[in-house]
């Protein structure tokens, strides 16, 4: 645990660059700015009742925060976890240390989760306060929990993709997100149950204030799972652990060439 704490502190301090801090503020401000624009320019509040308004805001904030803000935040920190070490030519040193790769990836995983979650929580607090709905506590708690689960799951997935494809980690992470998390997660088949987005959507429907008339629509039977919220959280934690372990195994067993040989 001392090694994990040392790696976490070192990687956290190293991530406090001007560019990344600016990106953190941009991610935290993104849902807030969209919320302000909707309140300023949108007119749906004049043509819908309270329940419909809460449903609209719930869907909007879910897309903006756990789906966009968190995913983009971890893309910057988790995807290049392996590639950054190859670029700095420190991979050989880490590979020869006892459990060096293990603690490195675990430390970077925790940094990625912390980085994305804090930005999402700040954005959630301001966005929920500005949207003006009558269940702010429920919305804040639900979005905060979804953001934490999404940060852990996407960090593990992007680290695995980055370990398999270190040359173009961010490109392949974007391809994975578009094909798997957007397309496959929307297909009414067994394959969508193995995606992160499918489990997050189920928790979103269970936790967020949504009009019961929308929940009874037949489309929801294809985009959400049956079972308790506890089981969905268990699935997300299990998938995150599986992806993270796979990333560590790939990084330990794969023979990476040095940066001077054009690996990244």
Whether 113 has a pLDDT exceeding 90, the answer reads yes
Whether 227 has a pLDDT exceeding 80, the answer reads no
Mean pLDDT value across residues 159-177:
91
Q: Which two tokens stand for residue 122?
A: 């700040």
Mean pLDDT of the chain: 85
Whether 165 has a pLDDT exceeding 70, the answer reads yes
So what's the pLDDT on residue 259?
47
Whether 56 has a pLDDT exceeding 60, the answer reads yes
Band of pLDDT at residue 264, cut at 50, 70 and 90 = very low
Mean pLDDT value across residues 46-71:
85
Contact (CB, 8 A) for 209 and 139: yes
So what's the pLDDT on residue 47?
56
So what's the pLDDT on residue 257?
61
Band of pLDDT at residue 124, cut at 50, 70 and 90 = very high
Q: Tell me the residue ranges of DSSP E strands in 104-260.
A: none
- Domain layout of the chain by residue ranges: 2-257
Whether 99 has a pLDDT exceeding 80, the answer reads no
Q: What is the rounded CA–CA span in Å between residue 138 and residue 113?
A: 22
Mean pLDDT value across residues 148-177:
92
So what's the pLDDT on residue 25?
95
Whether 119 has a pLDDT exceeding 80, the answer reads yes
Mean pLDDT value across residues 142-168:
93
So what's the pLDDT on residue 262?
45
Contact (CB, 8 A) for 251 and 163: yes
Q: List all residues 6 or more positions away from 129 whose beta carbon is below 8 Å from its beta carbon.
A: 136
So what's the pLDDT on residue 167?
84
- Torsion from C-alpha of 174, 258, 4, 158, nearest 10 degrees: 10
Query: 44-58, 86-100, 120-134: lowest mean pLDDT where?
Result: 86-100
Q: List all residues 6 or more positions away from 219 whose beta carbon is below 8 Å from its beta carbon.
A: none
Mean pLDDT value across residues 42-69:
82
Mean pLDDT value across residues 129-153:
92
Q: List all residues 6 or more positions away from 93 whose beta carbon is below 8 Å from its beta carbon.
A: 100
Global confidence as pTM: 0.89
Q: What is the rounded CA–CA span in Å between residue 100 and residue 6?
A: 12
Contacts for 177-180: CB closer than 8 Å, 24+ residues apart: 177/71
DSSP secondary-structure letter at 8?
H
Whether 230 has a pLDDT exceeding 60, the answer reads yes
């Amino acid at each position: 645990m001392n090694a994990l704490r040392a790696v976490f502190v070192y990687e956290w301090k190293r991530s406090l660059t001007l560019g990344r801090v600016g990106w953190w503020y941009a991610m935290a401000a993104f849902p807030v700015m969209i919320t302000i624009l909707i309140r300023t320019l949108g007119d749906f509040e004049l043509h819908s009742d309270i329940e419909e308004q809460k449903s609209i805001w719930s869907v909007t904030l879910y897309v903006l925060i756990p789906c966009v803000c968190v995913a983009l935040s971890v893309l910057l920190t988790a995807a290049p976890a392996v590639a950054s070490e190859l670029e700095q030519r420190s991979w050989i040193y880490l590979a020869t240390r006892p459990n060096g790769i293990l603690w490195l990836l675990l430390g970077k995983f925790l940094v990625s989760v912390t980085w994305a979650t804090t930005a999402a929580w700040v954005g959630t607090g301001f966005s929920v306060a500005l949207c003006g709905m009558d269940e702010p506590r429920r919305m804040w708690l639900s979005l905060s929990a979804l953001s934490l689960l999404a940060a852990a799951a996407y960090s593990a997935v992007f680290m695995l993709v980055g370990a398999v494809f270190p040359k173009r980690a961010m490109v392949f992470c974007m391809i994975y997100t578009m094909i798997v998390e957007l397309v496959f997660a929307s297909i009414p088949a067994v394959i969508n149950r193995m995606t992160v987005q499918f489990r997050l959507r189920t928790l979103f429907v269970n936790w967020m204030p949504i009009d019961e008339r929308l929940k009874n629509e037949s489309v929801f039977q294809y985009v959400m799972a049956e079972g308790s919220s506890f089981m969905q959280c268990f699935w997300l934690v299990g998938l995150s652990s599986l992806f993270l372990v796979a990333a560590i195994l790939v990084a330990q067993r794969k023979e990476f060439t040095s940066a001077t040989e054009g690996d990244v």
